[in-house]
Amino acid sequence: MIVTHTQNANGDTRLYIGGKGSLECWIEPRKDGRTWTFHLDEAVTGNHLSPDDRRQWAIHTLISLAQSLNVSPQDLASIPYEAICALHATDPFAGRRVAQSKRRTIEAGFMATRPDIRRPTTDFSSSNTDDQSRSKRR
């Protein structure tokens, strides 16, 4: 399972689970820092899915996450957010999951970061992204 820990300019984190597809699935920590909530939304490049298909996709993703953690699906909710963050793949090319922004809005986006790294807001500037994209094109 592809797991990508991300952080935005405000320091909020998300953990995207599963690969790119018609739906994006992620978990966010609750204010207590231990528990988490599951979210899903249609991907920008995905196909429209029926509510039944969305539910099946969510169930499949959560079951896969439970398998990656070696716990039963019923026990998944008791796993702390930080323990799930440990599944983050440090290689951004692992499973071909590389963040590609559709809009150049670093300030509003979530960037992949290792779970043990808390990046300061100054790390998130659009000029850095522009420099990196230019160097990759050369």
pLDDT mean for each 10 residues of the chain (138 residues): 84 84 87 91 78 90 93 94 85 51 51 63 54 48
pLDDT of res. 98: 46
Total number of domains constituting the chain: 1
Residues 125 and 104 sit within 8 Å (Cβ to Cβ): no
**The two three-digit tokens of residue 55, written as one number:** 């539910």
3-state secondary structure of 111: strand
Cα–Cα distance, 66 to 60 (Å, whole number): 10
pLDDT of res. 119: 58
Residues 20 and 42 sit within 8 Å (Cβ to Cβ): no
3-state secondary structure of 88: coil
What is the residue range of 100's domain?
3-137
Tell me what percent of the chain is helix, strand and coil, each rounded to the nearest 5.
35, 20, 45
Q: Which of 112, 93, 90, 91 is nearest to 101 (CA)?
A: 112
Residues 85 and 34 sit within 8 Å (Cβ to Cβ): no
